[in-house]
Structure 1
């Protein structure tokens, strides 16, 4: 009570808290992405990355230098001696290898197998992934579970039954038979990957496209495929590398006229033994194409791997 007889009103806790001066803002925490960038930019991490790169590049450089040396030079010393004597290097081994009609045919067969097998898997999986993600049809979830279940089936389990089926329809020992086998066993993983990626597309974006009169085909080609380019590129790289480097399937399903480069090199090993002048250029020739494909799609591959990892 005051001196004038009036009762003094005390402020409520909410009013007192509102009247209290706000605390000075403390130092804000840097975003996680900035912290990761600073960590990767440190000298220790960069030195470690350079060391790892050297460990990975050294065998490739040794294979390349060995492939350009003669059989006598390879027998007399290691590949690193060519660094001090560049006169040892020549393209004679590659000329002799490509002059072999069997190797040239095998290289062409590898391209004829890898490119269609990759294109068919990516195209079919993109259509199926969009259907499983955004289209309503009877049995959708059950069919998708069957597709996911096929991921656990090893390739070796289907070799003999599929070989009998290929022989019954006349595709055994042909390039088309090898392509169909790779497509069949590449689709479960491809559909699973693209379905999960397409499911992350905002529903409002698709609904707006439908309200504007866009058909499902138009939405798929003009909207979904451009947004899914990182995932499609990653899938294409994985599928191409798997098919290009495969020897098990081709060894069983391909004959002498349709065998790829991996089987041809394996037959060269049996024929010439440890002839490094034949094996080294053949191995490097088989390796250089996947390297070119990987570096050509590297930017899209990194985007596909990092998709969804950072908000």
Structure 2
């Protein structure tokens, strides 16, 4: 019942539950990605992250030593025997079943004996020891194939991160990404701040038309302008250069930046602006000394979004910088680590958390200044 002390309306509870649900929906995949980044490569390829704390079932194909190999076959009493272990090539776990044919790879339980067509007998223990015996000397240049079902314990490793962090050229790509991201974040903020103030508080012909054009440019897909813009840059001599990609990111980010900052600056108390003009302050002085400090929350918010966009960008960097080893950004370097078919999932998961380390640091740093800006912008 609404209005009774100590009780909350049902709508408030619905809002709270919706927020909790959204947080879980956003956090759960990220948590799964984090867990996967520490899992063993082989286990990651056959099971989901939610099974990371339980044993994983995996099928192995092992070839026993060939009978004709020197020392592979020995005689024990009346039998000729070949022995070994299915984990000699690496790995660990407990064998739950085995087979001698790909059509039925788990036909026999551990401890049972499989009889081959030529009379040879095969058995496998839970620890992976196998034994092949026959009444007559065995011949052949190829050993018997064994299909083994193994229950592996959970395996966690740092090899995925070592592969990413120690890969050749990753340091250079990190510097290249910073070289692209920092100017591509600062330049549009500076231009948009001046433009936002002009469109909000300065009167001049065509201001309404400019605002409408800025709003219209927000919905224009950047993919439509990539090739024409690259051709223009090539004609004027800045194609495949840092200057070109700085200007490209500036152009792509300006419409949204101007729109956000203009609306924020427009909402500042009118009395402050008018008082400054009465005191003889110019528009530049009003912008630098009053508007800019009060607009810090909006500036910090856009800086976060622009930094994240440029840092995680691959398409624009590929078009305007290419795949030159000296200018390859981190997203391009991590793409190469995935392989030609993109099947190295363990690299993908570790790369995701390596690439978000800097954006997270920027977000938390600007969040502190964002709160300070909100307090500084209050009016008594």
The TM-score normalised by the length of structure 1 is: 0.74
Q: Answer yes or no: is the 8 Å Cα contact 1:107–1:261 preserved in 2.
A: yes
Asked if residue 279 in structure 1 is aligned to residue 348 in structure 2, the reply is yes
Given the alignment of the two structures, is residue 294 of structure 1 paired with residue 363 of structure 2, yes or no?
yes
Distance 1:64 1:209, change over 3 A: same
Q: Distance in 2 between matches of 1:94 and 1:113?
A: 24
Structure 2 unaligned segments of length 5 or more: list them.
Answer: 56-152, 375-380
Preserved contact between residue 68 and residue 89 of structure 1 (Cα < 8 Å): yes
Match of 1:57 in 2: 27
Match of 2:296 among 226, 229, 233: 229
Q: Which has the higher contact order (CA 8 A, sep 6+)?
A: 1
- Distance in 2 (CA, whole Å) between partners of 1:295 and 1:269 is 30
Unaligned runs of 5+ in 1: 1-28, 306-311
Match of 1:88 among 145, 148, 155: 155
Conserved in 2, the CA contact under 8 Å of 1:109 and 1:175? no
Single out whichever of 109-118 and 135-144 deviates more from structure 2.
Answer: 135-144
Q: Is the 8 A contact 2:183 2:246 kept in 1?
A: yes
Tell me, in whole angstroms, the C-alpha distance in 1 between the residues paired with 2:16 and 2:216.
42
Contact persistence 1:166–1:177 (CA under 8 A) = yes
State whether structure 2 residue 298 is matched by structure 1 residue 218.
Answer: no
Structure 1's 166 and 270: CA in aligned 2 closer, same or farther, altered over 3 A? farther
Between 1:115-124 and 1:172-181, the stretch displaced more is 172-181
| Distance across 2 between alignment mates of 1:112 and 1:38 | 52
Cα deviation for residue 281 of structure 1 reads 1.1
In the alignment, what sits opposite 1:151?
218
Larger radius of gyration: 2
Aligned residues: 272
Matched ranges for 1:135-146 at <5 A? 135-146=202-213
Query: Cα offset for 1:193?
Result: 1.8
Normalized per residue, which structure has more helix? 1
1 CA distance for matches of 2:340 and 2:177?
21
**Contact 2:53/2:154 (<8 A) preserved:** no
2:231 counterpart residue number = 164
Q: Which residue of 1 aligns with 2:248?
A: 181
Richer in strand (by share): 2
